[in-house]
Structure 1
Amino acid sequence: MATLELRNLHKSYGSGLADTLKSIDLSIDSGEFLILVGPSGCGKSTLMNCIAGLESVTGGAILVDGQDISGMSPKDRDIAMVFQSYALYPTMSVRENIAFGLKIRKMPQAAIDEEVARVSKLLQIEHLLERKPSQLSGGQQQRVAMGRALARRPKIYLFDEPLSNLDAKLRVEMRTEIKLMHQRLKTTTVYVTHDQIEAMTLGDKVAVMKDGIVQQFGTPQQIYNDPANLFVASFIGSPPMNFIPLRVQRQGGQLVGLLDSGQDRCELPLDAEVGEGRELILGVRPEQIGVVEPGTNGPTDLRAEVEVLEPTGPDTLAFVTVNGTKVCCRLAPDAAPALGATLQLRLDPARVLLFDAQSGERLRKAPAAGETKVTPLARHKH
């Protein structure tokens, strides 16, 4: 196990070209599982290759256990990588693929056999040891690639989108296998994915990337509950967060954001320093919109017509319109309404987020007495 720290890391492919990686600062403790997540082209695989030594860095440092390895060759870094394509040797058996790196390091044959037996048992591929890669399914090939990395017992494991070639069912199964493997081995791991569900379920820490910049770094819960900006809020979460444009106006000396469902209207007092006439976006997750009994008339209630229903099994997604925008509400199946029915929705003002519509930056509410001030929504009937 080893600590991993990236200090002010930059990567450029030539003079005059924009940096592919820009001022990357990340740090994980020994045994932690770091997820690099973001859309295609955001720089996450480039960052992985820099850690592995497959690409050189333009500036900054990569430290393992406090030692700068930025200038080391890949073979001297004691890092094992599992590629998206698995990169198995097609003419070798599973046994030979797993043992190959150990033979290169001139380990005794008895030790090699012992290590092959250990990882094949760990990954439940003992019965596949004499087969060739062409005789294996995608999931089996993925296990063999993991076994080859595990046999080296490196300080750090790197996984570059290892599940992207698998079907949906197998992805879920292998995701669980990787999580169980990490819980058993407690080896420092960096895992690249564009799948935010993988990021939420696997990682101890998550770095959300866009355009070569880490937009936010924290635990999955921090990323989900307290996103730094509009991009992070939109990328993490399934179904995604609702984003509702706010009309801002002054009422009684206070700036408020108006929410209109066509049947009810709410006025949201704005605690942040927003300025009159500023365009805002209200963010609220589908499960944070409650459904209450008609007539309870809470200050955060909005009546709205159900326009679309999507049963998913464990949930039913009901879509309504607020401020001209489709809004998803996540409901229990037994609470599912009929299409065209009127729902009385209740927002949780403590969990509503505000973003600047132009920059996408999160707007924080002004604290009162050392705590975040939360003001209920005022409710008006049409």
Structure 2
Amino acid sequence: MATLELRNVNKTYGTGVPDTLKDIQLAIKDGEFLILVGPSGCGKSTLMNCIAGLESISGGAILIDGDDVSGMSPKDRDIAMVFQSYALYPTMSVRDNIAFGLKIRKLPQAAIDEEVARVAKLLQIEHLLTRKPGQLSGGQQQRVAMGRALARRPKIYLFDEPLSNLDAKLRVEMRTEIKLMHQRLKTTTVYVTHDQIEAMTLGDKVAVMKDGIIQQFGTPQQIYNDPANQFVASFIGSPPMNFVPVRLREQGGRVLALLDSGQARCELALGAASQGFDGREVILGIRPEQISLGAGGGDGLSLLRAEVQITEPTGPDLLVFVTVNQTKLCCRLAPDISCQVGDTLNLQLDPARVLLFDAQTGERLHLARHAAPLQDNVAHIAGR
């Protein structure tokens, strides 16, 4: 096991070409599971290849256990990698595929047999050892690829989108297997994915990337609850965060956001008045599960009356879509709620969970939260 640190790592492919990686700074502790997540072309696989030594860096340093390995060849970094394509030798048996790296290192045959048996038991593939890759399912081939990496007992494991070729059900199963494997082995792991569900469920730490830049680095909970900008907020979460354009105004020492469903209007009190926010147009962000149904009485809890346009039952949830400020708004409600297209709902937004983003840059804006009770969070409700 080992620590991993990246110090101002840059990667460029030539003069006049935009940098693929720009001042990447990361540090994970011994035994941590790091997720590199982002859309296609964001640089996450390039960064993985730089850590492995398959690509050279143009600047900065990569340290494993405090030692700079930036100039080392891949074989000298003591890293094992699992590829998206599995990269198994088709003419070799499962046993020989797992043992291949050990034979290259000239380990005694008894030690090789012992290690193959250990890995096969860990991954529950003992019954597959005599088969060839062509006789295996996609999930079984992935287990063999993982077994080949595990047999080396490296300092760091690297996974490059290992589940992207599997069907949805098998991805869930293999995700669980990888998490259990990490819990057993406690080996430092870096995992590349474009799937935010994998990022949230597998990682101890998550680095969200875009255009070769780390947009935010933190725990899954930090990334989800406190996104640094609109891109991070939109990329992490399923269903994704709602983004509604609003105009702010200040009144009575509070910042108010106008919401209009076409049936009713309300002004939601978001925080204490801040210089420069009066009249400003921003993007209001709120996650679907942070919108609930109000009682519809005069208790000040029902913030906005809106007409149901689409319903999507998912089993554990009911997704309801309405329109606010001419923008589709997704509400994640309990599955036993009875509502149909055309019904009118009284929706309650939690002001404490509302986020604001700059309409031009997407950067997060911060307001000083006021201590007003919930019933005071509605400045005005008007029906139409």
Structure 2 equivalent of residue 152 of structure 1: 152
1:118 aligns with 2:115: no
Counterpart residue identity of residue 378, structure 1: A
Q: Percent identity?
A: 78
Task: Determine if contact 1:298/1:346 at 8 Å carries over to the other structure.
Answer: no
How far did 1:297 drift?
A: 4.2
Distance 1:336 1:56, change over 3 A: farther
Distance 1:252 1:32, change over 3 A: closer
Structure 2 equivalent of residue 309 of structure 1: 311
**Superposed CA offset, 1:70-121 (max 9, x none):** 0000000000000000000111110000000000000000000000000000
Counterpart residue identity of residue 286, structure 1: P
**Superposed CA offset, 1:171-203 (max 9, x none):** 000000000000111100000000000000000
SS, match of residue 377 in structure 2? coil
Distance 1:291 1:16, change over 3 A: same
Give TM-score scaled by structure 2 length. Answer: 0.95
Instruction: Trace 1:357-376 onto structure 2 (pairs within 5 A).
Output: 357-366=359-368, 376=377
Structure 1 equivalent of residue 62 of structure 2: 62
How far did 1:249 drift?
A: 4.0
Task: Determine if contact 2:290/2:353 at 8 Å carries over to the other structure.
Answer: yes
Q: Which runs of 5+ in 2 are unaligned?
A: none
Cα distance in 2 for partners of 1:63, 1:351 equals: 38
Instruction: Trace 1:239-318 onto structure 2 (pairs within 5 A).
Output: 239-249=239-249, 251=251, 256-269=256-269, 271=272, 272-298=274-300, 301-318=303-320
Cα distance in 1 for partners of 2:185, 2:291 equals: 40
Task: Determine if contact 2:296/2:302 at 8 Å carries over to the other structure.
Answer: no
Structure 1 equivalent of residue 53 of structure 2: 53
Distance 1:232 1:350, change over 3 A: same
Cα distance in 2 for partners of 1:274, 1:34 equals: 39
Give TM-score scaled by structure 1 length. Answer: 0.96
Structure 1 equivalent of residue 344 of structure 2: 342
SS, match of residue 238 in structure 2? coil
Instruction: Trace 1:109-188 onto structure 2 (pairs within 5 A).
Output: 109-188=109-188
Task: Determine if contact 2:300/2:378 at 8 Å carries over to the other structure.
Answer: no
Distance 1:118 1:63, change over 3 A: same
Counterpart residue identity of residue 206, structure 1: V
SS, match of residue 31 in structure 1? coil
Task: Determine if contact 1:300/1:378 at 8 Å carries over to the other structure.
Answer: no
Cα distance in 2 for partners of 1:195, 1:379 equals: 41
Structure 2 equivalent of residue 41 of structure 1: 41
- Computed over aligned residues only, the root mean square deviation of the Cα atoms, in angstroms, reads 1.9
Counterpart residue identity of residue 329, structure 1: C
Cα distance in 2 for partners of 1:189, 1:340 equals: 50
Cα distance in 1 for partners of 2:342, 2:369 equals: 41
Task: Determine if contact 1:367/1:373 at 8 Å carries over to the other structure.
Answer: no
How far did 1:17 drift?
A: 1.5
Task: Determine if contact 1:230/1:361 at 8 Å carries over to the other structure.
Answer: yes
Q: Which runs of 5+ in 1 are unaligned?
A: none
How far did 1:55 drift?
A: 0.1
